[in-house]
Structure 1
Amino acid sequence: MSLLANRPRIIHAALALFALAVIGRAAKVQLMDAGQWRARARDQQVAAAPLPAPRGTIRDVSGDVLVESREMVRLRVAPREVRDRAQLGRLMRRAGIADALVARATDTTVKWVEVPGLFLPTDVAMLTAMRGVHPEPVLNRVAPPSEGLRRIIGRTADGSVPVDGVELALDGLLRGEAGKEALLRDSRGRLFASPAVDGAAARPGHSVTLTINAGLQDIAERALNDAVEAQGAAGGDIVVLDARSGEVRALASRRADPRSTAATALTEPYEPGSTLKPFIAAWLLEHGRARVDEVVDGHNGKWNLNGRIIEDDHKAASFTFADVMRYSSNIGIIQFAQRLTPREQFEVLRDAGFGAPTGTTYPSESPGRLAPPAMWSQKSSASLAMGYEILVTPLQLAAAYAAIANGGELLQPALVREVRAPDGQVVYSHERRVVRRLMSPATARTMRGLLKGVLEGGTAQGASLATFEVAGKTGTAKVARNKRYVAGEYTASFVGMFPADDPQIVILVKLDSPRKSIYGGKAAAPVSKTVLEAAIAARDAALDRDALSRAPQRVAAAPPVDDPVQDAPAEVVVTESAGTVPYVVTLDQPLRASPVVAGARAVPSVQGLSRRAAAHALHRAGFRVVFVNGAAAQWPSAGTLAAAGSRVTVAVLP
Structure 2
Amino acid sequence: MNIKRSILLRVRIAFLVAVLFVLAVVYKLVEVQMIDGDHWREMAQQSSLDYRTIKATRGNIYADGGDLLATSLPFYKLAFDPSLVDDKTFTSKIDSLSYLLSKFFRDHSSDYYKKKISEARQMKSRYLVLNRELVNYQDRLEMLQWPIFRKGQMRGGVIFEKEDERHRPFRRLAQRTVGSLDNEGRGLVGVEASFEDYLAGKNGEGLFQRVAGGNWKPVNASTDVRPIDGYDVHTTIDINLQDVAQNALLRAVSTYEAEYGVVVLMEVKTGEIKAISNLERTSSGGYAELYNHAVGTNNDPGSTFKLASMLALLEAGKVDLSDTVDTGEGTIEFFDRTLTDVKNGGYGKITVQEVFEKSSNVGIAKLVVDHFGDDPQEYVDLIKRTGYGKPLGFQLLGEGEPLIKGPDDPEWYGTTLPWMSVGYETNLTPLQTLAFYNAVANDGKMIQPILIKSINRANKPVETFKAKVLNKKIASDETLEKLRLMLEGVVERGTAKNVRNEHYKIAGKTGTAQRLVNGRYMTQSYYASFAGYFPAEDPLYSCIVVIDNPKGWNRYGGDVSAPVFKEIADMIYAQNLEIHDSFTPEYTAANNGTFPVIRAGRLEELNELCNLLGISNHPNQEAGEWVRSSVNNNAITWRKNHEDTGLVPDVEGMTLRDAIYILENIGLKVSISGNGRVKRQSLGPGVRASKGRTIELELG
> Which interval holds the TM-score relative to the shorter structure?
0.7 to 0.9
Question: In the alignment, does 2:561 pair up with 1:527?
Answer: no
Post-superposition offset of 1:222: 0.8
* Counterpart-to-counterpart distance in 2, 1:76 and 1:277: 67
1:169 maps to a residue whose letter is: S
Deviations 1:600-646 (A, max 9, x none): 99445433x5xxx223x769xxxxx9877876389xxxxxxx99999
Question: In the alignment, does 2:661 pair up with 1:632?
Answer: no
* Counterpart-to-counterpart distance in 1, 2:638 and 2:194: 45
Q: How does 1:299-378 map to 2 (within 5 A)?
A: 299-314=328-343, 315-338=346-369, 339-340=371-372, 341-374=375-408, 375=410, 376-378=412-414
Q: Which residue matches 1:92?
A: 105
Post-superposition offset of 1:404: 0.8
* Counterpart-to-counterpart distance in 2, 1:217 and 1:132: 48
Cα pair distance change 1:456/1:633, threshold 3 Å? same
Question: In the alignment, does 2:491 pair up with 1:491?
Answer: no
Question: In the alignment, does 2:308 pair up with 1:273?
Answer: no
2:275 maps to a residue whose letter is: A
Q: Would the aligned equivalents of 2:573 and 2:580 in 1 still touch at CA under 8 Å?
A: no
Shifted more, 254-263 versus 295-304: the winner is: 254-263
SS of match in other structure, 2:404? coil
TM-score norm. by structure 1 comes to 0.74
Q: Which residue matches 1:296?
A: 325
Q: How does 1:553-564 map to 2 (within 5 A)?
A: none
* Counterpart-to-counterpart distance in 2, 1:101 and 1:479: 64
Deviations 1:136-156 (A, max 9, x none): 211222236243522112111
1:214 maps to a residue whose letter is: I
* Counterpart-to-counterpart distance in 2, 1:184 and 1:590: 86
Give 1:614's match in structure 2, choosing from 635, 640, 647.
Answer: 647
Q: Which residue matches 1:567?
A: none
Q: Which residue matches 2:421?
A: 385
* Counterpart-to-counterpart distance in 2, 1:237 and 1:256: 12
Question: In the alignment, does 2:247 pair up with 1:211?
Answer: no
* Counterpart-to-counterpart distance in 2, 1:310 and 1:649: 44
SS of match in other structure, 1:229? helix
Deviations 1:105-162 (A, max 9, x none): 8996999879666431213555676699864211222236243522112111357311
Q: Would the aligned equivalents of 2:503 and 2:580 in 1 still touch at CA under 8 Å?
A: no
Q: Would the aligned equivalents of 1:303 and 1:311 in 2 still touch at CA under 8 Å?
A: yes
* Counterpart-to-counterpart distance in 1, 2:568 and 2:381: 34
Post-superposition offset of 1:308: 2.7
**Which sections of structure 1, spanning at least 5 residues, go unmatched?**
1-39, 94-98, 540-544, 560-573, 579-583, 620-624, 635-641
Shifted more, 337-346 versus 79-88: the winner is: 79-88
2:485 maps to a residue whose letter is: G
* Counterpart-to-counterpart distance in 1, 2:134 and 2:157: 18
Cα pair distance change 1:586/1:256, threshold 3 Å? closer
Post-superposition offset of 1:197: 3.3
Q: Which residue matches 1:399?
A: 435
Deviations 1:386-429 (A, max 9, x none): 11111111100000101111111221121211123458243233
Give 2:574's match in structure 1, choosing from 531, 537, 549.
Answer: 537
* Counterpart-to-counterpart distance in 2, 1:434 and 1:550: 35
Give 2:470's match in structure 1, choosing from 434, 437, 450.
Answer: 434
Give 1:122's match in structure 2, choosing from 135, 138, 141.
Answer: 138
SS of match in other structure, 1:227? helix
Q: Would the aligned equivalents of 2:295 and 2:431 in 1 still touch at CA under 8 Å?
A: yes
Cα pair distance change 1:320/1:156, threshold 3 Å? same
Sequence identity (%): 25
Q: Which residue matches 1:149?
A: 174
Question: In the alignment, does 2:210 pair up with 1:176?
Answer: no
TM-score norm. by structure 2 comes to 0.69
* Counterpart-to-counterpart distance in 1, 2:500 and 2:282: 32
Deviations 1:193-246 (A, max 9, x none): 66x836433222222211222221111111111111122212100011222122
Q: Would the aligned equivalents of 1:353 and 1:396 in 2 still touch at CA under 8 Å?
A: no
Deviations 1:149-200 (A, max 9, x none): 22112111357311111221111122212234467999xx996666x83643
* Counterpart-to-counterpart distance in 2, 1:234 and 1:290: 39
1:359 maps to a residue whose letter is: G
Q: Which residue matches 1:15?
A: none
CA RMSD of aligned residues (A): 4.7
Q: Would the aligned equivalents of 2:62 and 2:69 in 1 still touch at CA under 8 Å?
A: yes
1:476 maps to a residue whose letter is: T
Cα pair distance change 1:456/1:134, threshold 3 Å? same
Q: Would the aligned equivalents of 2:257 and 2:550 in 1 still touch at CA under 8 Å?
A: yes
Q: How does 1:462-541 map to 2 (within 5 A)?
A: 462-516=498-552, 517-538=554-575
Q: Alignment length, in residue pairs? A: 563
Q: Which residue matches 2:32?
A: none
Post-superposition offset of 1:60: 1.7
Post-superposition offset of 1:437: 2.4
Post-superposition offset of 1:381: 0.7
* Counterpart-to-counterpart distance in 2, 1:591 and 1:91: 61
1:268 maps to a residue whose letter is: T
1:310 maps to a residue whose letter is: L
1:523 maps to a residue whose letter is: V
SS of match in other structure, 1:614? coil
Cα pair distance change 1:46/1:521, threshold 3 Å? same
2:567 maps to a residue whose letter is: T
Post-superposition offset of 1:652: 11
Shifted more, 79-88 versus 470-479: the winner is: 79-88
Q: Would the aligned equivalents of 1:240 and 1:249 in 2 still touch at CA under 8 Å?
A: yes
Question: In the alignment, does 2:479 pair up with 1:443?
Answer: yes
Q: Which residue matches 2:69?
A: 66
Post-superposition offset of 1:329: 0.4
Q: Would the aligned equivalents of 1:88 and 1:106 in 2 still touch at CA under 8 Å?
A: no
* Counterpart-to-counterpart distance in 1, 2:329 and 2:680: 40
Q: Would the aligned equivalents of 1:56 and 1:174 in 2 still touch at CA under 8 Å?
A: yes
Shifted more, 266-275 versus 55-64: the winner is: 55-64
Shifted more, 475-484 versus 157-166: the winner is: 157-166
* Counterpart-to-counterpart distance in 2, 1:59 and 1:363: 19
1:65 maps to a residue whose letter is: L
Cα pair distance change 1:48/1:86, threshold 3 Å? same
